[in-house]
Amino acid sequence: MHRLDPTEYHVPVMAQECLHYLNVRANGTYCDGTLGGGGHTGLILAQLGEGGRLFSFDADEVAIHHCEQRFGVKAGDRSKQPILIHSNFEHMAEVMRTEGRVDGILLDLGVSSYQFDHHERGFSYRADAPLDMRFTASGPTAADILNERSEQEIAKIFYDYGEDPQARRIAAAIVNRRNLAPFRTTIDLRNVVVTVVPPQHQPRSMSRIFQALRIAVNNELVRLEATLASMIPLLAPDGRIVVMSYHSLEDRIVKNVFRDHSAELTLLTKKAVEPQPHEVQTNPRSRSAKLRAAARLL
C-alpha cells in the first residue's frame, strides 16, 4: 500500500472555525466522523487531556492505514488516542452505543485531497482512471451506472445530484456512446461531455457530472440525512455537532435536519459559515465549504 507523508493527504478546511464551534473540553469525548488524512483529528487531539477520548471513523482502508502511521496507533485499539474506527460514519450511533454520550461530533463531507490527487478511483475528470468512484470496495461502480442504467435514470442522476442543465443531452450522448463500447475510464466519460457542452462551460459541467455520479454510487444524500438524525441522540447536554458540506444539496440536508430537530438542538450558526478569503487563496478546495453547527439542548 502507498506510504504517505503526513502532509500529503488533506489540508483541514476551516480548522479554527471547527475548533471554535466544537468547544473542545480537555476531558471530553469526541467523534471525527470523516477521518481522511487526520487533519481535523490531529487538531482535536491536541486540545484533549489525559481523560479525553477521540473516536475517528473512516471506511477507506487507505485513510486508516495512513492515520495509523501518522498517530502511531492501531485501528480499533481503545488504549491509545485517537481511537481509529474502520467504518463509515453512518455506523457511528451503533459503535458509540456502549461508549456513553459524546461532547462533540465533526463531519467534513468533502472528498479528500488524496482521493482527488491519486486517481485510482476516478473521482476527478482531470486524469485518466477507472470509472469507479466507490468509497469502499463493494457495490456498483460509476461505470456500472453509465453502462446499465436507462437514459432517464442517468439524466435524473445528473439533474438531481449535479443540477446540470444539460443533464438530458449528456445522458442521451452516453447511451449512444455505450452502444458502441462500454464506459471504462474517466476519459471515456469526459470525451462524451465535451461533445455536448460548449467549451466555456465544460469545467463546471464536468465537475457537476462527476459529483452527481459519486453521490449516486455511494448513495450519499440518503445516507447523510438518516445518519445526521441518528447522531443527535448521541450528544450530551450542550454537546456540539459541526458539519461541513461542499455543495448545496448537502448543505440543504444539514440545514433541514437541524431545523427538524429544533426541539433538541439550538443553532450556533444562524447561516452557513464560509471560509475566509485568505484560506480560499491558500487552499482553493475550501472555496465551496459551508459550515453549520448546533448544540444539544440541556
- In this prediction, residue 99 has a pLDDT band, given cuts at 50, 70 and 90, of very high
pLDDT band at 137 (very low <50, low <70, confident <90, very high): confident
Residues, the chain: 298
Contact 266, 295 (CB under 8 A): yes
Mean pLDDT of 262-278: 96
Return the percentage of the chain with pLDDT > 70, whole number.
Answer: 92
Residue % of the chain over a pLDDT of 90: 78
Residues 1 and 60: their CA atoms lie apart, in Å, by 13
Check whether 115 has a pLDDT greater than 70.
no
Which ranges in the chain are annotated with CATH 3.40.50.150? 15-114+221-296
Pick among 1.10.287.130, 1.10.10.10, 1.10.150.170, 3.40.30.10: CATH of 118-218: 1.10.150.170
Fold of 15-114+221-296: Rossmann fold (3.40.50)
Given a contact cutoff of 8 angstroms between Cβ atoms, the answer to whether 19 and 44 are in contact is: yes
Q: In sequence order, what are the beta bridge partners of 106?
A: 32, 242
What was the pLDDT predicted at 194?
94
163 C-beta neighbours (distance < 10 Å), count: 14
